[in-house]
Amino acid sequence: MNTNQRYEDAREQYAALGVDTDAALKTLSEFPVSINCWQADDVAGLEGAGQITGGGILATGNFPGKARTAEQIRQDFEFAHRLIPGTHRFNLHASYLEHGGSPVDRDQIEPKHFQGWIDWARGLGIGLDFNTTFFSHPKANDGFTLSSRDKTIRDFWIEHGRRCRRIAAHMGRELGTSCMQNHWIPDGWKDLPADRLTHRELLVESLDTMFTEKIDPELTRDAVESKLFGIGSESYVVGSHEFYLAYALTRGVVFCMDAGHYHPTESIAEKVSALLPFLPRLLLHVSRPVRWDSDHVVLFDDETRAILREIARADGWNRVDVAVDFFDGSINRISAWVIGIRSTMKAALYALLEPRELIRGAEDTGRLADRLALQEEAKTLPFGAVWDRFCAQEDAPIGTAWLAEVEKYEQETLLKRN
Ligand code: RNT
Ligand code: ZN
Q: How confident is the model at residue 90, as a pLDDT? A: 98
Q: Is the pLDDT of residue 188 over 90?
A: yes
Q: How many A from CA of 256 to the centre of ligand 1?
A: 11
Q: Measured on CA atoms in the order 50, 105, 217, 204, is the torsion positive or negative?
A: positive
Residue 135, ligand 1, Cβ within 6 A: no
Beta bridge partners of 282: 255, 320
Pairing of strands 179-183, 220-225: parallel
CA 397 to mean position of chain CA atoms: 23
User: pLDDT by residue (tens digit) across 221-260?
Assistant: 999 999 999 999 999 999 999 999 999 999 999 999 999 9
User: pLDDT by residue (tens digit) across 270-299?
Assistant: 999 999 999 999 999 999 999 989 999 999
For ligand 2, a single-atom ion, the residues with CB < 5 A are 258, 285, 325
Residue 325, ligand 1, Cβ within 6 A: yes
Q: Do the domain assignments include residue 366?
A: no
Q: Do the domain assignments include residue 130?
A: yes
Closest ligand to 44 CA?
A: 1
Return the residue whose CA atom lies nearest to atom 1 of ligand 1. Answer: 57
Q: How confident is the model at residue 54, as a pLDDT? A: 85
Residue 130, ligand 1, Cβ within 6 A: no
Residues 6+ apart with CB under 8 A from 289: 259, 260, 262, 264, 295, 296
Q: How many A from CA of 162 to the centre of ligand 1?
A: 19
Which candidate, 226, 346, 255, places its Cα nearest to that of 298? Answer: 346
Return the residue whose CA atom lies nearest to atom 2 of ligand 1. Answer: 184
Domain ranges, residue 249: 20-352+396-416
Please give the C-alpha separations between residue 210 and each of 3, 187, 254, 336, in angstroms, as whole numbers.
52, 16, 15, 35
DSSP string of 72-90, one letter each residue: HHHHHHHHHHHTSSS--EE
Q: Is the pLDDT of residue 418 over 80?
A: no
Calculate mean pLDDT across residues 16-36.
98
Report helix angle 115-124 to 151-175, nearest 10.
Answer: 30
CA 289 to mean position of chain CA atoms: 14
Residue 41, ligand 1, Cβ within 6 A: no
CATH number of the domain within which 248 lies:
3.20.20.150
Q: Which helix (H) or strand (E) holds 5?
A: helix 3-16
Q: Do the domain assignments include residue 361?
A: no
Q: How confident is the model at residue 132, as a pLDDT? A: 98
Beta bridge partners of 296: 288
Q: How many A from CA of 150 to the centre of ligand 2?
A: 26
Q: How many A from CA of 154 to the centre of ligand 2?
A: 22
Residue 187, ligand 1, Cβ within 6 A: no
User: In the chain, pLDDT over 70 holds for what percent of residues?
Assistant: 100
Q: Do the domain assignments include residue 82?
A: yes
Strands (E), 157-287: 179-183, 188-189, 220-225, 236-237, 254-258, 282-286
Q: How confident is the model at residue 56, as a pLDDT? A: 86
- What ligand 1 atom has the least distance to the C-alpha of 38? 6
CA dist., res. 164 & res. 107, Å (int): 9
pTM: 0.97
Q: Do the domain assignments include residue 390?
A: no
Q: Which amino acid is located at 170 in the chain?
A: H
CA dist., res. 336 & res. 342, Å (int): 10
Most distant CA atoms of the chain, gap in Å? 68
- The mean of the pLDDT values for the chain is 97
- Structural domain count, the chain: 1
Residue 158 pLDDT class (50, 70, 90 cuts): very high
Q: Do the domain assignments include residue 141?
A: yes
Residue 285, ligand 1, Cβ within 6 A: yes
As annotated, the active-site residues are 184, 225, 227, 258, 261, 285, 293, 295, 325
Top mutation candidate among 184, 226, 284, 288 for ligand 1, by most atoms within 8 Å of CB:
184
Residue 288, ligand 1, Cβ within 6 A: no
Residue 28, ligand 1, Cβ within 6 A: no
Q: Do the domain assignments include residue 388?
A: no
Beta bridge partners of 189: 236
Q: How confident is the model at residue 85, as a pLDDT? A: 98
Q: Do the domain assignments include residue 365?
A: no
Which candidate, 213, 176, 223, 211, places its Cα nearest to that of 320? Answer: 223
Taking the CA atoms of residue 50, residue 164, residue 180 and residue 335 in that order, the dihedral angle to the nearest 10 degrees is -10
Q: How confident is the model at residue 66, as a pLDDT? A: 97
Q: Measured on CA atoms in the order 297, 300, 301, 305, is the torsion positive or negative?
A: positive
**SS3 for 224?**
strand
Contact by Cβ (8 Å): 334, 406:
yes
Residue 225, ligand 1, Cβ within 6 A: yes
Return the residue whose CA atom lies nearest to atom 10 of ligand 1. Answer: 325
Q: How many A from CA of 285 to the centre of ligand 2?
A: 5
Q: How many A from CA of 295 to the centre of ligand 1?
A: 8
